[in-house]
Structure 1
Amino acid sequence: MFRTALRNVFAHKARLLMTVLAVMLGVAFVSGTLVFTSTISNAFQNSSAKGFDGVDVEITPAFHESQGDTLGKPGELTQAQLDTVEKVTGVDSAVGVVKGFTAVADKHGKLVGGGFQSQGANYWGAKDVRYPLVSGSAPHGADEIAIDSETAQRTGYKVGDTVRVSVDGPVLTPRVSGVFRTDDGNVTAGGSLTLFDTATAQKLLGEPGTYHAIDVKAAAGTSQAQLKSALDTALTTKAVDTVTGKKLADDQAQVISRSMSGLKQGLLVFAGIALFVGTFIIANTFTMLVAQRTKELALLRAVGASRRQVTRSVLIEAFVVGAVAGVTGLLAGIGIGAALRSLLGTFGATLPDGPLVVEPSAVVAALAVGVLITMLAAWLPGRRAARIPPVAAMSSLHAQATTKSLVLRNTLGALFTGVGVAVVLWATTLSGSDGQAPMGLGAVVLIIGVFILTPLLSRPLIAAASPVLRIFGVSGKLARQNSVRNPRRTAATASALMIGLTLITGMTVMAGSLQQAIDKMASAALRADYVVSMANGRDLSKDVGEKLAASSDVTASSPLRNAPVRIDGETEYLTGVNGSTIGELTDLKVDNGSFKIGGDQVVVDKDTAERNHWKVGSSFTAHFQDKKAERLTVSGVYDGNEVIQGALMDISTLTPHATDSRDMQVLVKTKGGVSSEAKDRLVKTLGTNPVIQVQSKKDLSDSIAQIFTLMLNMLYGLLAMAVIVAVLGVINTLAMSVFERSQEIGMLRAIGLDRKGIKRMVRLESLVISLFGGVLGIGLGVFFGWAAGELLGTSMPTYELVLPWARMGIFLLLAGLVGVLAALWPARRAARLNMLAAIKAE
């Protein structure tokens, strides 16, 4: 039986090729994901570890936890503590570290590194081995900086050039005194690092005379553990924490690993979808192979082969196919991993150098997935073949499914579909994250139910295409009959395409609906012409709001200034606004009371009021950062949204208590309304700061749309793998169907149907099957998009379903195109059959 199984594999090489390709693509995606994430993670970890080469122990200020009504905050490291550290036995050198956000503009005024990885620090001098100079000299004074070599290369800056730099206040224009080399992970990831002398860094990024950390290097013969113990003894205070360089590197490696795990899981989800789609193709292929070899298997049973041996022979074939697909998929996956890394470089992402990492887990996963998926998909056809009585198989009495099996299948499909719909509908009544798991479970059950019912659905849906098919005469009629001749085969082929289109349509519906909901939220909540904020999401300096308020172009402005407070022992955040102008800049619906802000009167959103059991007239005591308290009264309750929410109080009441006044945003109304000239004047008022963005409501909408478009395009690209696998399934089914119907095609040729008619018949059959899968996929996608929207609507009142009719039409056309392209080779093969040889074929 083993030799027989191998012989069958080699005898049906061409038929199994598409199956190998389908499994190989899925395996390649899995192994490529593992190789890519391992390679990137390893490169970042090695780069990060290099950054700690000169650090044996790092000292940082301890964070004081908040107690009672007192807010906690980190301490500071002083020059006296640095002097103490330098005198500890076992210390070779100690460096006081100052660091913080620093933005650099390129020669065109654009922000370098996107802002999120834009950092600034202090240069310690000749002893600072962290940043060896490539050219120039160390920075001295407030008018000099040093920049990293990566930034210098990307921007074209060199020693002597003037650079625009922003910390969080006015734009600075220092001269580049030197260019240095660094292994800092933020720089290798595309960010920038700017160095000041220590006094300037303390003034700009911290407090004069203080440090954010102290990096200590051990003397020869002193281990990190011994140095840490000596420092703990010398620094007899609970205000500092000491950590060894090894632990810093290990912790950083764990952070990198966790951050990469999200990317890995996301990519593996799409790989799983491709494999899931591939499973239909494998099962379909083996079902057809077994059906075409029924008489052969019956003969084996007649000469003494047992049911287990027949099943085992099919599984051996599947094992060989899966092993070949697993090995080729692994090799392809290694190539995909390398290609993805190069692709990120073309998108402008700078990655650390490092070798391609192929871990044993990737090899095992590739082979295991390839073999297990294939054998699992082939097990049911093999078991079904073994249960057919030899006499019935030889006389082809087994060909038609029994009424009992059809009733059982349809009943089971209806049950799964009903349960899936019920669970999804129930999940829409839940709120937020509570409904995510039930909805996911219901979606899976519903898709399985629809797949089981697909043979039943194929007849009426394909029959609906009869009027169109009649236009093509005999070829169209034959195509319709061939499509419904074997409903199970048609269903398995269409289901592969259905799953891909379900996901694509569902995500498109959700993205479009979310986009409109956010647009409505912004336009409904804001009357302001512009919203000013930091491009990297950090807080604005209070100087920004003051400059805008003093501008002659501005008629009304208000900062949104967040401040933590303690209320009844719990931390809450109050938002300071200009009580006299906020009404002109926002349009918030007030449910109770009045929108009156000033003195001790505050307004709160509905959620905050319910959480704290407040209503109009309620009073509460807020304990501020300066350890003083204010008794505040609720004057009104409003409907909050994603733009404005929480408790709003007058900024004149809040600011005296805030130790560090910073604004999330500043709302601005100008004399002439929204115009490019008004926007340019505001930008110039703020010193053409590269990190500050001035956005109108349309700009906000466009930026949100850009994010959704980018995400959708990425998801479309990932789901393209599943669609490619589905195309292979259609090709495979048609090719095997052509082989199965060779005799019939030969007869059609003999009685006068020409080669063009044969080609047209196969193409129309493929088109009908693909459109059938497309209709099911789009229908399910709309349902899932609606259901997910209902779930989101509980936390987003402006959400409403938006059906992207144009895109759904494109998806249906693409499904048809898939059918036409998939039929090219099978149609050509069918047309080229020798009619006499085909008629004599068994």
Structure 2
Amino acid sequence: MFRTALRNVLAHKARLLMTVLAVMLGVAFVSGTLVFTNTISDAYRKSSAKGFDHVDVAVTPGSGRRSDSPDEDPELTEKLRASAEKAPGAAFATGVVEGFTAIADKHGKLLGGGFRSQGGNYWGSKDPRYPLRDGHPPRGADEVAIDAGTAGRAGYHVGDRIRMSVDGPVRKPVVAGIFTTDDGNVAAGGSLALFDTATAQKLFHKEGRYDEIDVEAAPGTSQTELLDALGRALPEGTVDTTTGRQLADDQARSIASSMDSMRTSLLAFAGIALFVGVFIIANTFTMLVAQRTKELALLRAVGASRRQVTRSVLLEALVVGAVAAVTGLLAGIGIGAGMRSLVASLDTATVPSGPLVVSPGTVATALAVGIVVTVLAAWLPGRRAAKIPPVAAMSSVHARPTTRSLVLRNTIGALFSAAGTLLVLAGTRMAGDSGKPVVGLGAAVLVIGVFVLTPLLSRPLIAAAAPLLRVFGVAGRLARQNSVRNPRRTAATASALMIGLTLITGLTVIAGSAQQAIDRMAVSALQADYVVSMANYNGLSPDVARTIAATGGVTASSPMSDAPARVGSSRHFLTGVDGHDIGRLTDLPVSDGSFRVSGPDVVVDDQTAHDQGWRAGDSLKVTYEDGKAGRLTVAGVYHGNDMIRGILVDDATLRPHQSDPTDTQVLVKTAHGPQGSVKDALERALGNNPAILVQDKQDISAGISKTFTLMLNMLYGLLAMAVVVAVLGVVNTLAMSVFERSQEIGMLRAIGLDRSAVKRMVRLESVVISLFGGVLGVGLGVFFGWAAGKLIGSRIDTYELVVPWARMAVFLVMAAVVGVLAAMWPARRAARLNMLNAIHAE
């Protein structure tokens, strides 16, 4: 039986190839998704990582503060650093200053992706954190050192002048040195610029202060001993001290926590990949064994036992699964690498770079899917075939399902579909995040129910296409009859395409609706023609707002800055605005009082007013960040959104209490509206700075659109394999159908059906099956998109369901194209059958 199984595998090369391809693509789908998701996850983890090789104890601002001040961060001064360095067991102490620093390449384009553009200070002549490769340490405001990766990408060398920005104004220092670093942000594609300590403190508005003090222990002193010594040497209650080991552990937990949401999303798609891959493999092998029922019965007739027949099938599955698993894993690694390169090449990509990650878990999962699933998929049909009496099996390749089994299947499918629908509807009525798991469970149950019901649904839906098929004459009528002849096979074939299109359609509906909602929210509250901000949305220098106000053609402008304060008994952020112009730059509906921002008069968003119990006319006690007290009056309550909310205060009232004022953005209105020449004038006035964004409403919408487009492209890439696998499923089904109907096709040829009509019949059958799966997929996708939208709408007021009908039509056309492509080889094979040989075929 062992030799028979191996010979049987090799004897049917076409069947072997199709089966291996089905399993290989299923494995490739799973492993490619896992490689891609692990690579992205690892890149984000490394981008957040920070090395602690030269940190035995870190000193950070503690919780000690004045009781009347909202500022919770005490200052880390040079005096404190010197005290730390003199502590027993300390070798030396490094003061760390960090902040945003944008570097432009030689063409003026921003390097490092905005959010990953960082700056800091170079400590001393030999900073152990950043070994110099070329040049010398930066000295003075006109020198800077950059990391080797950034220098290589931009083509900078020691002595070159570069364009850069910290908080708005353009600076052009000389590259004094190029250093190497193991900083995770740089390893993930970011940029790092270093200044001498005094320059860094001035640029980052931290004169005489540090963000952190890193202390390295002297030889023979442990981290715990140094920690105890610093606890005694430093003022009690003003700083926190943490060992480098503890910092590394805390960082690992923080990164893991911050990536929970992304990891969940990526694992969800890996799970989808696993489900589709398992489904396709099981479906293919079930059809394969069913096709060989007569052959297996012949083995029984010549003396093979049931167990031998079953083991023979399992051995074939093991061989096929092993070969396909290895090739599928290799193909999946290539798919993951290709998707990573594609994302990296997109201008809209904000994904950090990093090496391709092929984890042991990915390898194990790929082999398990390829081998274990294939063997399990073959076991049940092989066992079922072995139980059929040899005479009965040899008399008919097809054993039609009994009425009882169909009724049972339809009943189970109806119950699952009803339960899934009820769960989805119930989840959409729940508040907050509590509805997500209910909707997710309902969606899974509903998909299973529809899959079970697909044979029942195939007859009426395919019958609806009868008028169109009549146009193609006899070939069209035969195609319709062949499509419904074996409902289970038709359903199993269409289901793979249904799953892929369900996911693609649902994601398209959700992304399109969310994009429009955020777009509407972003621009509906704005009357400004332009919004000016940093590329990473960090603080802008107040000089930027003054430069804009003095630019010709600007009729109104207002900076927006946030400052911590204690209002009443709670901590809040006050948003400073130009009280005179803010009303002309925004359109915020007022529900109570009037929109007046001047002197002590402020306006508050409705959510904050509701939470605090404030109304128009209320007087509020405020303690500013400098510790000084005052009173504010609520002039009005406005309807806020995620773009503009909080307590809006006149800049003239807030600025005197800010030690280092910075603006989050500047709203601008011009005499002639948003025109290209006006935008060019603003950009020229700001020094054509690549770190500053000057955006009109269309630019904001385009930015939102790019984000969603990038997300959709990544998800479409993950799901593209599902469609490819579905194509193969259709090919397998048609090829087997042609094989089983050889006599019938030969008879049709004998009574006058020519080769072109045979080809047309097989192609139409394939198109009908594909469109059937497409209709089910689009319908389910729209329903799931609506359900997810109900959950999103509870958080975003501007959310409305948007069904892109044009794209839905494209998806159905794609389904039809899938049918045409899948039918090419089976149709050619059917047309080339020798009619006499086919008629005499057993």
Aligned partners of 1:362, 1:283: CA distance in 2, in Å?
20
Q: Alignment identity in percent?
A: 67
Correspondences of 1:188-587 after superposition (within 5 Å): 188-235=187-234, 237-249=236-248, 251-252=250-251, 265-297=264-296, 314-315=313-314, 317-337=316-336, 339=338, 346=345, 358-378=358-378, 380-382=380-382, 384-385=384-385, 393=393, 395-396=395-396, 399-567=399-567, 569-587=569-587
The 1:210–1:167 alpha-carbon spacing in structure 2 relative to 1, beyond 3 Å, is same
Q: Is the contact made by 1:133 and 1:179 (CA closer than 8 Å) also made in structure 2? A: yes
Distance 1:275 1:835, change over 3 A: farther
| Alignment partners' CA distance in 2, 1:140 and 1:8 | 78
The 1:13–1:71 alpha-carbon spacing in structure 2 relative to 1, beyond 3 Å, is farther
Residues 61 and 74 in structure 1, CA contact (< 8 A), matched pair in contact too: no
Deviation at 1:377, TM superposition (A): 3.9
Partner of 1:147: 146
Cα deviation, 1:124-145, whole Å, max 9, x if unaligned, reads 3433233333333322221222
Which residue number in structure 2 is paired with residue 816 of structure 1?
816
Quick one: which amino acid aligns to residue 532 of structure 1?
V
SS at match of 2:115: coil
**In terms of mean alpha carbon deviation, does 796-805 or 345-354 score higher?**
345-354
Query: CA 1:31–1:171 in 2, change beyond 3 Å: closer, same or farther?
Result: same
User: Which digits, 9 at most, give the CA deviation of each residue in 1:737-771, with x for residues without a partner?
Assistant: 11111222222222232322222221111111111
In 1, Cα distance between equivalents of 2:258 and 2:10? 46
Q: Which deviations, in whole Å up to 9, do the C-alpha atoms of 1:391-444 show, x marking residues without a partner?
A: 654554972222222222222222222222222223233344232222212211
Q: Which amino acid is the alignment partner of residue 639 of structure 1? A: H
Residue 695 of structure 1: CA displacement?
0.9
Change (3 A) 1:797 1:646: same
Alignment of 1:687-706 (within 5 A): 687-706=687-706
Distance in structure 2 (CA, Å) of the matches to 1:407 and 1:511: 39
Per the TM alignment, residue 219 of structure 1 is displaced from its structure 2 partner at its CA by 4.0
The CA deviation string for residues 454-507 of structure 1, in whole angstroms up to 9 with x for no partner, is 111211221222222222222222111111100111011111001111111122
Aligned 8 A contact 2:63 2:237 in 1:
no
Q: Which moved more, 1:756-765 or 1:730-739?
A: 756-765
Cross-structure match for 1:777: 777
| C-alpha distance 273-207 of structure 1, shift in aligned 2 (>3 A) | closer
C-alpha deviation, 1:268, in angstroms:
4.2
Q: TM-score, normalised by structure 1?
A: 0.91
Cα distance, 1:641–1:145 mapped onto 2, change above 3 Å:
same
In 1, the alpha carbon distance for the partners of 2:183 and 2:730 equals: 50
Task: State the partner residue of 1:83.
Answer: 82
3-state SS, counterpart of residue 214 of structure 1: strand
Contact map agreement 1:41 1:257 (CA 8 A) in 2? no
Distance in 2, Cα, partners of 1:642 & 1:369: 44
Q: Which moved more, 1:832-841 or 1:387-396?
A: 387-396
Report the AA paired with residue 468 of structure 1.
Answer: L
The normalised TM-score by structure 2 is 0.91
Aligned equivalents of 1:728, 1:170: Cα separation in 2: 58
Post-superposition offset of 1:548: 2.6
Does structure 2 retain, via aligned residues, the 8 Å contact 1:432–1:792? no
Please give the alpha-carbon distance, in whole angstroms, between the structure 2 residues aligned to 1:600 and 1:386. Answer: 88
- Matching residue of 2:97: 98
- Cα distance per residue 1:789-817 (max 9 Å; x no partner): 23222222322222222222221111111
The alignment partner of 1:400 has SS state of coil
Q: Distance in 1 between matches of 2:354 and 2:611?
A: 50
Hey, what does 2:163 align to over in structure 1? 164
What are the residue-to-residue correspondences of 1:752-763 with 2, within 5 Å?
A: 752-763=752-763
Give the counterpart letter for 2:532 in structure 1. V
Aligned-partner Cα distance in 2 for 1:256–1:671: 47
For 1:353 and 1:221, the matched residues in 2 are separated by 37
Structure 1 residues 194, 732: CA separation in 2 closer, same or farther (over 3 Å shift)?
same
| Kept in 1: contact 2:162–2:175 (CA 8 A) | yes
Say which SS state the counterpart of residue 59 (structure 2) adopts. Answer: strand
In the alignment, the residues of structure 2 paired with residue 610 and residue 693 of structure 1 have an alpha-carbon distance, to the nearest angstrom, of 35
SS at match of 2:110: coil
Q: Note if contact 1:48-1:183 (Cα within 8 Å) is conserved in structure 2.
A: no
Give the equivalent residue in structure 2 for 1:749. Answer: 749
Structure 1 residue identity aligned to 2:144: I
| Partner SS for 1:108 | coil
SS in 2 for 1:150: helix
Change (3 A) 1:481 1:593: same
> 1:46 Cα shift?
8.9
The structural deviation recorded for 1:684 is 2.8
Q: CA RMSD in A?
A: 3.3
CA change 1:274–1:828 in 2 (3 A) is: farther
CA contact (8 A) 1:278 1:496 kept: no
1:616 corresponding residue in structure 2: 616
CA–CA distance in structure 1, aligned partners of residues 285 and 158 of structure 2: 69
For the Cα contact (< 8 Å) 1:565–1:624, is it kept in 2?
yes
- Of residues 667-676 and 826-835 in structure 1, the stretch that sits farther from structure 2 once superposed is 826-835
1:136: which partner in 2? Answer: 135
Q: Per-residue displacement from partner, 1:633-683 (whole Å, max 9, x unpaired)?
A: 433332222222233233333333344433222211112221112112222
The change in CA–CA distance for 1:194 and 1:433 in structure 2 (over 3 A counts) is same
**Hey, what's the Cα distance between the residues in 2 that align with 1:452 and 1:351?**
42
Number of aligned residue pairs: 840
Larger deviation, residues 242-251 vs 177-186:
242-251
* 8 Å CA contact 1:567, 1:621 repeated in 2: yes
Which sections of structure 1, spanning at least 5 residues, go unmatched?
none
Give the stretch that moved more between structures: 261-270 or 740-749: 261-270
**Distance in 1 separating the partners of 2:613 and 2:383:** 64
Using the alignment, how far apart are the partners of 2:552 and 2:634 within structure 1? 34
Contact persistence 1:33–1:268 (CA under 8 A): no
